[in-house]
Amino acid sequence: MSSAASCLYECHVMHRRIVPKHHEFLYRIFLFYLDLGEIETLARDVPIFSAGEPNIYSLCNEDYFQFHSRGLRANLETFLETQRISIRPAHIRLLTLPRLLGYTFNPISIFFCFDSDNRPITSVVQVGNTFGELKPYVVPLDESGNGFHVRVPKNYYVSPFSPLDLSFDFCFKNPSEGLQIIIDTYRGEEKNLLSTLTGKRTELTTSNLTRLTLAFPLVTIKIIFLIHWEAFRLWLKGIPFYAKEEKPSEQQGTFRVRK
């Protein structure tokens, strides 16, 4: 097995809405887990993957929150500084889906930060919406030091069927042979939406990436289609709708990647 930290994860995504009405769905995707220090090697060894150049899969700096144009690491380090986190990570690994044939959409991407001994320091979850906006959230180590956990005000318009006065509860482990991400939403102490992302690791090779591309064709298009399909189903169920223009003052700390 390769000693590289970068890999692929075959994943299941589950959403379960509890209030005001029950609604649940499950679907399969795959994601990349990319060590930023290995990007050049991956781009050389995996012909259908590139960094900043057109390809079947392309990792582009402009698809993530930005303070300047010096790259993913520099932008992440600047964001950590704005959050009064002074430690500069030795290794940064990104769970994401790069552009597919030039098209991108990530409901979430997660930056995992490590020290020089590969001990986790912190993580940053980037949440995306269909309005071309991104919002990063710092998710620190939990009490055990083996995972990450925080509950924070959402202050971000993700879905027209979720009000802004909710909190995100992020809870996940450091990716290994398995992937387990839990992102729930609360109103006060009442949980109203459960979301999980679970996956199984496979080596990032040309053959494995080709296999997953054939197993999940146009995976990014699938994700954006399912988001709108499930929104239509929620509308049919009479779930309350919240317009993005209603409370702009409660939408804070966002980055816009496209108009």
pLDDT in tens, 102-118: 999 999 999 999 999 99
| Over residues 26-55, mean pLDDT | 96
Specify the pLDDT at position 83. Answer: 94
Alpha helices in the chain (DSSP H): 39-45, 72-82, 206-215, 219-236
Residue 250 DSSP symbol: G
In total, how many domains does the chain have?
1
Alpha carbon distance 44, 51 (integer Å): 10
Burial 138-158 (b: 16+ CB within 10 A, else e): bbebeeeeebbbbeeebbbbb
Please check whether residue 74 lies inside any domain of the structure: yes
> Which residues have CB under 8 Å from 38's CB, separation 6+?
4, 5, 6
Alpha carbon distance 213, 190 (integer Å): 39
Please check whether residue 172 lies inside any domain of the structure: yes
Please check whether residue 157 lies inside any domain of the structure: yes
Specify the pLDDT at position 143. Answer: 87
Please check whether residue 12 lies inside any domain of the structure: yes
Please check whether residue 89 lies inside any domain of the structure: yes
pTM of the model: 0.94
Specify the pLDDT at position 2. Answer: 56
User: Is pLDDT of 254 > 90?
Assistant: yes
Portion of the chain with pLDDT greater than 90, in percent = 76
Q: Which domain holds residue 120?
A: 7-256
Please check whether residue 1 lies inside any domain of the structure: no
pLDDT band of 82, cuts 50, 70, 90 = very high
Please check whether residue 67 lies inside any domain of the structure: yes
Q: Which of these ranges, 29-33, 139-143, 235-239, has the smallest mean pLDDT?
A: 235-239
Specify the pLDDT at position 1. Answer: 42
Specify the pLDDT at position 114. Answer: 96
Please check whether residue 2 lies inside any domain of the structure: no
| Over residues 165-187, mean pLDDT | 96
Instruction: Record the tokens describing residue 13, joined without a space.
Output: 């995504």
